[in-house]
Chains A and B, each alone.
Chain A
Amino acid sequence: MSRRNNVRGPTSALTEFLKESGITPTTIARRARTRQVEQPAQLEAGPSNAQQNGDQPESGPRGTNGNAEEYASDHLDETDEEQPAQKKRKMTKTAEAKEKAKAKANAKKKKGDDEDFEDSDEDEDAYTALSKMWKDNSKPPVGSFENCARCNKQFTVTKYTMAANPPPGFLCHLCAKASGADPFKKPAAPRKRKAATEKRNVVHFEERRFPSLASLCIKIISHYIDDVEALGDIGSINLDELAKSLARNRSLTPQNAPLFYNVENTNLTLYDVTHLTPPAFNTLAALNPNLTSLRLDFCGRIDDTVMDSWTTSLPHLKRIELLGPFLIRIAAWKKFFETHPNLEGFLITQSPRFDLECTKAMVDNCKNIKELRLNEIGKMDDAILNEIKQYGEQLTYLEIAYPGVPEALSDDVVVDLMSAVGASLKHLNLSNNVNLTDGFLFQGLKPHARQLSTLVLANLPELTDAGVAEFFDTWKAAVQDHPNRALVNLDLSRNHELSDKALISLLKHSKKSLTNLNINGWKTTSQEVLKERSMIGLSRNSWRNAIRSKKSRCGDVNGSVSNALASAASPLLVSRSMWLHKISSAFSLG
């Protein structure tokens, strides 16, 4: 703002003061230069001071306020300007802070070298030089031409021109965009951080989402667990249903588990004990000393210490069913068998450690085993089967499904096993032992199985349609004196070779009593087969049986059965099998 005339408009008190004290831009600039000469070493101080000094003429009243005040404040003791300075000290301080921040930023940007720029700028014109102080001094003036550091094309410098990343030079707009830096992007304003507590609260709320009624009830139950009377009459409630509800929500904890404990308990079933810790399992045993049957699903946290404590605290245990006891080691298993010679049911699923040695210990110690399940055992092999053979005809329930290695068991050994134990078996599951063939059916099951009511042979890809068909056709006739009764539950799912023939013959064999049938995954079965009377016979009889055994929503089932039969069955394998699966599972619900 050059003053060609001497007209002066209204000025602020600060400007007045500056005028009075004779502080002008040029004097300040001169002093700044002299200061720089005096203290060249003080890098920070030097430029800051210079900038501060230089700032004054630039932004008119703003700049002058701060710097003039600073100057005055610097020399408070020396000059007599204390009174007017005091009034403005507050502004001084904030302005000072602003200046220092800007100065530091500027100083950081350019160290050393840029002092020359500053000096030269200031030299040419004190007033205009300062306006560039807050801009990038190294940048050529806006409007001039520059060669791009990358593509060497000529371009006009604008205020958006960006410096090249390895320092020398500037980039034309295209190269700047290509390098990713957006010249038009405004610098992100620093956001005030939320106070830690506030932030914590908000996050907590979001995680909660909307509380479900079940979770609220569980919280209340856990809260009142010690004061059981407060929870009302538990007797009228089916504790098993309660256990299932808690399991569905995975909310069974050491705190609310005692709801199920009782000294008089002989049976205990908990469907999801993921949250129970080893001490909690010890408590479980301590508070239920009279248990004869224990079932724990998802019991992954049971370890050797728990087994050790169970050796003494569950003396009457006859049946144990565990899903997922993978932490228990061989020694612990052995000790368990040694201390529970009366064990009659040993059903475990998923253990990579249970091996031949454990089986031997079991066979040696527990002579009364009637129910045995060793599903998903990593170390399953033929040798273990040979041990199990020793149980002979006392086994009624046998499951050796999904071994760790699907090829672990060979056809012959399984047949051999069946010859030993087959006569008494009521339940057999050998799923996913992929080496089993039709031979197993003919040599293993046909001659030996007499009382089988549940047969699960899922995922045995070697079974053939013709083989299975023949098996069912000839099974009844096989053993003259004591032919096998019709099957109640049959699961032949995921055997891709099986089709019409197998279905017809198995229905002929078992239609009177079959309540569960799973042929999910079979090859296409034709419409005719489904519409066949034997099929209708199956559904009606099964329905009748279902009604006899349990009450159910038969209305719906009826509808879906007749729908399935009456409507034209599509040739798609999946849908048909699934229909049948649905019907059978609906029956099984009923």
Chain B
Amino acid sequence: MEEPQGEKSSQPQDDWVRFISSDGYSFLVKRKVALASPTLRGMLDVSSNFAEAAMNTCRLEERGIVVEKLLEYLAYKSTFESAPKKEDIPDFMERIAPEIALELLMAADYYDS
């Protein structure tokens, strides 16, 4: 994951967004991926006055591995949601370790994914 290029005040949809977990890990994803979650979409909405939207950075109150899996799911969702039904969509369930399932469930519920 490269460093984000300098973001100007006009934020094109193709820029990177940073998420910081509670234990200090940083994750960079494309904005499009982050917008797959309605909660994150609200946090990053440019028309609001949230600091997160201005800085393109969100602090999440989850552990690193949970944030990672959550963002992985959002990437999976943004890629395959619009795929035609006949296309072979890989299974995401097998990628979730049961140890994080409970925390991930709560995060999923909060971020409405």
Contact = CB atoms under 8 A, between A and B. Distances in A.
What 5 pairs across the A-B complex have the smallest Cβ distances? Answer: A217-B105, A213-B108, A245-B109, A232-B99, A214-B108
Given A221-B105, A237-B103, A213 B113 contact: yes
Contact of A218 (B73, B100, B105): B105
A194 to B, nearest CB: 13
Contacts of A244: 109
The residue among B85, B92, B93, B100 with the most chain A CB atoms within 10 A of its own CB is B93
A242 B102 contact: yes
A367 B23 CA distance: 53
B55 interface: no
Given A220-B98, A234-B102, A237-B103, A214 B109 contact: yes
Contact of B98 (A212, A231, A248, A249): A231
Contact of B102 (A205, A216, A232): A232
B110 to A, nearest CB: 8
A207 to B, nearest CB: 11
A241 interface: yes
A210 interface: yes
Interface residues of A, number: 29
Nearest to B80: A210
Contacts of A242: 102, 105-106
A556 to B, nearest CB: 9
Given A206-B85, A245-B106, A217 B96 contact: yes
A213 B73 CA distance: 7
Given A213-B70, A216-B93, A224 B109 contact: no
B77 A210 contact: yes
A537 to B, nearest CB: 27
A232 B105 CA distance: 13
A508 to B, nearest CB: 35
A221 B108 CA distance: 14
A230 B101 CA distance: 9
Contacts of B105: 214, 217-218, 221, 242, 245-246
A92 B2 CA distance: 73
Interface in A57-106: none
B61 interface: no
B99 A212 contact: no
A18 B77 CA distance: 69
A232 B92 CA distance: 20
Q: What bracket does the count of chain B residues touching chain A fall in? A: 20 to 34
Nearest to A236: B103
Given A210-B80, A213-B70, A213-B73, A241 B106 contact: yes
A224 B106 contact: no
B113 A221 contact: no
A503 to B, nearest CB: 31
Contacts of A241: 106
A242 B93 CA distance: 19
Contacts of A143: none
The residue among A206, A214, A238, A242 with the most chain B CB atoms within 10 A of its own CB is A214
Interface of A: 202, 205-206, 210-214, 216-221, 223-224, 230-232, 234, 237-238, 241-242, 244-246, 248-249
B7 interface: no
B93 A219 contact: yes
B91 to A, nearest CB: 9
A269 to B, nearest CB: 16
A57 B102 CA distance: 80
A131 B62 CA distance: 81
B77 A237 contact: no
A589 to B, nearest CB: 15
A413 B100 CA distance: 57
Contacts of A223: 98
Interface in B17-56: none
The residue among A214, A217, A219 with the most chain B CB atoms within 10 A of its own CB is A217
Given A217-B96, A220-B96, A212 B113 contact: yes
A216 B96 contact: yes
A216 B101 CA distance: 9
Contacts of B100: 232
Interface in B72-108: 73, 77, 80-81, 85, 92-93, 96, 98-106, 108
Given A210-B80, A213-B73, A220 B108 contact: no
B18 to A, nearest CB: 21
Contacts of A234: 102
A249 B112 CA distance: 11
Nearest to B109: A245
A237 B100 CA distance: 11
B59 to A, nearest CB: 14
Given A231-B99, A231-B101, A211 B92 contact: yes
The residue among A202, A205, A232 with the most chain B CB atoms within 10 A of its own CB is A232
Contacts of A221: 98, 101-102, 105
A239 B98 CA distance: 17
Contacts of B85: 202, 205-206
A246 B106 CA distance: 9
10 contacts: A205-B85, A212-B108, A213-B70, A213-B77, A217-B104, A219-B93, A221-B98, A221-B102, A237-B103, A245-B108
